[in-house]
Amino acid sequence: MVKPSLFLWGVAEITAASRSPLSLSLISHRAPSERLLFWAPSKMSCRIAQIHKVSSHSEVYEPCDDSFALVDALLADRTNLLEHKPTLCLELGCGSGYVITSLALMLGELPGVHYIATDVNLHAVRVTRETLQAHNVHADVIATDLASGLDSRLAGLVDVIVVNPPYVPTPDDEVGQEGITSAWAGGVDGRAVIDRILPVVDKLLSDRGWFYMVTLTSNNPLQICRQMKAGGYASRIVVQRSTEEESLHIIKFWRDSGDPMCKKETATLKKTSSGKVMDSVLSQIHRLPFWKKVESND
Amino acid sequence: MRLLTHNMLSSNIKGVINGFPLGIVVEKVIEKPVEMNPDFLKNMFAKIEWKALVDASRSMGYTELPEQADSSMLDSVDFLQRFHHALLELHLEEGALVCPETGRKFPVNKGIPNMLLHEDEV
């Protein structure tokens, strides 16, 4: 997500193609029965949203590195999500619909999951609906600012929240504008909207809820994790990715209440290369190397 | 928009105290059959405002929900099927949601409620 909307289809397609090795390497960590399913072409094609089926509009942010990183994070955590059996899943700022559609597809085998997606951009909610329909999955889509209108009745009910916020540092007066600007303009340090999102998430997330968010290094993800920790949340980085333009972290948060799934969270931590943020986050919680998870699953 | 989501949505206009439930103005309702999941229904039942669901489903032309319901009824397949149909299979495709306090209409087009507020409502 770079400030000017310069992303071309070519960029997106190259990135999409480069995703295959990750998907392949992940699948080898799964149970044999699931591995067989993966190799069936029909199953392979419906695991996540297909770029050519994602609808578009000149005022809607197209899937790019940050979107792919978030979907990769969800894919990397898919086995956990399937065991977690969420009832309500919510995306704030659904844009093209690529992420919520991918989530619905990758959890498609779970019965009784309800998806809700919101965006402040009227073009985006329409494009999201088209993307969902093109993949034959359903989410209720609402044009609203974050979760405005949902936050009282939906408080404490949402099991999974995914957010790719407008994280690009900009002058504050660029925040809150209409159209595609709302997809990237993040104010000072890119934190203006993120800082509004965190309390909303805290209100909506169920006790066992999981929250996945894209952050840029400039957003000071370490400080975000500390702030969330003060509110009772543990966190880990699911995917870390650097491109020519930016360095992204996809962080997962959950209430650190010691329930079994939280303990499982601790046991499935991925050992990742060093980095100030990574080290700091991991130093807060007990961890096991990723390869232990691989062994146990195989 | 399914009635499950309607049951979770309130008027978000600044100063409105009783913003739930939103009234429904129907222009077009569509039905999309989905597989029933009893566990989901049993899980959601406690979180649903029953009267709001009954009134909303009536606005949508479905009158088969009992006026009152309690959790013992979840053992009845017949009840579950009606609950399932009202909650998850009826979609408000075109119309509006109405703030119960101010009467302000939030348009619904192509199944998408527009809850975006004007500047003087935020």
What is the model's pLDDT at position A257?
Answer: 78
| pLDDT value of residue A277 | 42
CB-CB neighbors (< 8 A) of B2 in chain A: 114, 140
Q: What pLDDT score was predicted for residue B4?
A: 97
The pLDDT tens digits of the residues spanning A193-211 come to 999 999 999 999 999 999 9
Order of strands, sheet of A140-143, starting from the edge strand that comes earlier in the sequence = A140-143, A114-119, A88-92, A158-163, A205-216, A247-255, A233-242
CB-based contact, A157 to chain B, within 8 Å = yes
Nearest to B114 among A122, A153, A157 (CB): A122
Please say if the pLDDT value at position A18 is more than 90: no
Q: Domains along chain B?
A: 3-114 (2.20.25.10)
CA distance A118 to A97: 10
For residue A166, name the pLDDT band (cuts at 50, 70, 90): very high
**Per-residue confidence (pLDDT) for residue A262, from 0 to 100:** 54
Residue A243: pLDDT band (50, 70, 90) is: confident
pLDDT beyond 80 at A36: no
The confidence score (pLDDT) of residue A245 equals: 80
Mean pLDDT throughout A49-72? 92
A to B CB pairs, distance under 8 Å: 78
Mean pLDDT over each residue of chain A, to the nearest integer: 78
Q: How many CB atoms lie within 10 A of CB A129?
A: 21
Residue with tokens 């986050």: A281
pLDDT reported for residue A47: 86
Rounded to whole angstroms, how far apart are CA atoms A32 and A187?
47
Q: Are A235 and A185 in contact (CB under 8 A)?
A: no
A112 vs B40: CB contact, 8 Å cut-off? yes
Answer whether B1 touches A (CB < 8 Å): yes
DSSP conformation letters of B5-25:
HHTT-----TT-S---SPEEE
Considering only A111-120, A239-248, B33-42, which range has the smallest mean pLDDT?
A: A239-248
Do A224 and A251 contact (CB within 8 A), yes or no? yes
Give, for B57, the enclosing helix (H) or strand (E). Answer: helix B50-59
Q: How many whole angstroms separate alpha carbon A238 and alpha carbon A146?
A: 23
Q: What pLDDT is stored for residue A1 in this prediction?
A: 62
ipTM of the prediction: 0.96
Is the pLDDT confidence value at A292 over 80?
no
- State the best of A144, A157, A178 to mutate against chain B, taking most chain B CBs within 10 Å: A144
Q: Which residues of A touch B32 (CB under 8 A)?
A: 138
> How far is the CA of A289 from the CAs of A116, A267, A281, A286, in angstroms?
34, 8, 15, 10
Q: Does A259 touch chain B (CB under 8 A)?
A: no
Which chain B positions have a beta carbon within 8 Å of A152's beta carbon? 10, 19-20
Q: Where does A164-265 show beta strands of DSSP type E?
A: 205-216, 233-242, 247-255
**Facing B116 at nearest CB: one of A111, A144, A152:** A144
Domain boundaries, chain A: 9-297
Between A168-177, A229-238, B83-92, B111-120, the lowest mean confidence (pLDDT) is in A168-177
pLDDT mean over A47-74:
93
Say how many C-beta atoms besides its own lie within 10 A of residue A15's C-beta: 18
Assess whether pLDDT exceeds 50 at residue A127. yes
pLDDT per residue of chain B (122 residues) written in tens, 0 to 9: 999 999 999 999 999 999 999 999 999 999 999 999 999 999 999 999 999 999 999 999 999 999 999 999 999 999 999 999 999 999 999 999 999 999 999 999 999 999 999 999 98
Q: Which CATH architecture has domain A9-297?
A: 3-Layer(aba) Sandwich (3.40)
In this structure, what DSSP letter does residue B89 have?
Answer: I
